[in-house]
Amino acid sequence: MDNLLSLFFWLILAALVAAAAVGWVRRWRTRRQSFQRQLLEDALKLIFNLQQEGQPPDKYRLAVELKLGLPSVDALIARLTAQQLVLAPAAGGLSLTPAGQRWALQVIRAHRLWERYLADEARMPLEQIHTAAHQREHRMSVAEVDGLDAALGHPAQDPHGDPIPNAAGVLRAVKASTPLIDLQPGQRGKIAHLEDEPPLAYAQLLAEGLYLGQAILVQENSPARVVLSDAENQFTLAQAIASNVFVLVESPIEAHDPALIPLGSLSPRARAEIVRIDERCQGFTRRRFLDLGLTPGTPIVPELENAFRDPRAYRVRGTLIALRHEQAALIWVRPSAA
């Protein structure tokens, strides 16, 4: 009897060990497949971005950017070539096939939509959204990316100013911007792109208070520094940091209208007309503003002053709405003369 109980015990133990081993192997395979997919998609995205920048993609650049050894890069290129995603000529250069470009654009689309969501809705600090979006972009199906795009109102740009591909994999056209370091003193423009690589340079730009759509005037551009003004604040940037800022150069006629003020700065009971919603406002928040009737040309009046000024009530189209100070700062208005 004791022998039977002992045998039964060891059989159960062996079954449990086998089940645990099977589960471990399954989890290991799942993690490996996930890692291999991420590596493949990161390579496609990197090749696409290098081609867009006019830089020749090759295995040495992939090794540096993806932090891989050359044997691993060779194996990765072999996978990409076998799946007809990449062409690898004998000369060593790499180029995407049409299928590889579609896949790369789908990953870029997911990444930039996630950045838009994390910045606008999750209120995540801008210096953190790139890493967070990178962790999520590889987990989404095409249908899920389409759903996120629709929920955000099909935004045209990510929080850095990069265009977001549409569902067909077409990059929306954007106006050509000029590096800030190429502008001369006295030139005006609007910030169109803040490069988020390297992260430390991007964090410094944010700490200075620079943002997309900001109207700026170049006051000084020397080998030592670039000095800017937005009519309220002055910014002094080292050339290395300023090289990460790109600007839409404006003529004097196109320059920011000094008569415009943020809605939150409007005095109580003062009438104004909405001129535009700031370019920083995208996604769900922009859609809510439009649904509330906050469209260009609409009269608006602050009412029911809050002792803490946040939120504040505004009368628009015969209805009272409440906006937080940070929301009202995204709506530009022209005060009425009366």
Kindly report, residue by residue over 290-334, the tens digit of the pLDDT.
888 898 999 999 987 666 667 888 999 888 888 888 888 889 999
The torsion angles phi and psi of 210, rounded to 5 degrees, stand at -85, 145
* Average pLDDT rounded to a whole number, residues 53-73: 88
Q: Which residue has the tokens 């792109």?
A: 193
**pLDDT of 227 strictly over 60:** yes
What is the distance in angstroms between the CA of the first residue and the CA of the last residue of the chain? 102
pTM: 0.72
Q: For residues 301 and 35, what is the distance between their CA atoms, to the nearest angstrom?
A: 54
SS3 182: helix
pLDDT band at 7 (very low <50, low <70, confident <90, very high): low
Kindly report, residue by residue over 262-288, the tens digit of the pLDDT.
888 888 888 999 998 887 777 778 888
The domain spans of the chain are 2-96, 178-254, 261-335
More confident of the two residues 10 and 267: 267
* Average pLDDT rounded to a whole number, residues 6-31: 65
pLDDT band at 153 (very low <50, low <70, confident <90, very high): confident
What pLDDT was estimated at residue 254? Answer: 46
Between 1.10.1060.10, 2.30.30.110, 2.30.30.90, 3.10.310.10, what CATH number should domain 261-335 receive? 2.30.30.90
What pLDDT was estimated at residue 172? Answer: 76
Architecture in CATH for domain 2-96: Orthogonal Bundle (1.10)
Q: What is the dihedral of CA 292, 293, 298, 303, to 10 degrees?
A: -20
* Average pLDDT rounded to a whole number, residues 29-55: 82
What pLDDT was estimated at residue 268? Answer: 84
| Nearest to 45, CA basis, from 137, 168, 176, 166 | 137
What pLDDT was estimated at residue 28? Answer: 52
pLDDT band at 143 (very low <50, low <70, confident <90, very high): very high
**pLDDT of 140 strictly over 80:** yes
Asked which of 88-97, 172-181, 189-198, 217-226 is least confident by mean pLDDT, the reply is 88-97
Does 2-96 match 178-254 in CATH topology?
no
**pLDDT of 250 strictly over 90:** no
Residue 112 CA to its chain's centroid (Å): 5
| Nearest to 282, CA basis, from 149, 141, 145, 133 | 149
What pLDDT was estimated at residue 235? Answer: 94
- Domain spanning 178-254: CATH 2.30.30.90: yes
Q: Which residue has the tokens 């629709």?
A: 150
What pLDDT was estimated at residue 152? Answer: 85
